[in-house]
Amino acid sequence: MFPTLIGTVVIAGIVGYISEKSRFTHNGIVQSIIICIGGAFLFYFVRLMFGFGFSSPGLNAIVSSIGALIIVPTHWRK
């Protein structure tokens, strides 16, 4: 359980960094990494509590990080 959590954080950080470098988002590197890690934590704990998600934890981390990047910034922008 603990190595999965650490792996989720690492993958989410990498997704946040790559999304900022590829100009998918324009939040800033640190902000994108924080958004991705928050989304990955949320989906990780939802997976633990309710048991739904994808079969691999890595795929869960990638999808939840991209989802958080799409949802959070567009929610605050006009």
What's the pLDDT tens digit per position in 19-53?
999 988 888 899 999 999 999 999 999 999 998 88
Query: What b/e string do you get for 24-53 counting C-beta neighbours within 10 Å, with b at 16 or more?
Result: ebebeeeebbbbbbbbbbebbeebeeeeeb
Q: Judge whether residue 55 has pLDDT over 90.
A: no
Q: Judge whether residue 67 has pLDDT over 70.
A: yes
Q: State both tokens at 6.
A: 């650490």
Rounded to an integer, what distance in angstroms lies between the CA atom of residue 14 and that of residue 26? Answer: 16
pTM: 0.86
Q: Judge whether residue 77 has pLDDT over 90.
A: no
Whether the Cβ atoms of residue 55 and residue 68 lie closer than 8 Å to each other: no
Position 14 scores a pLDDT of 96
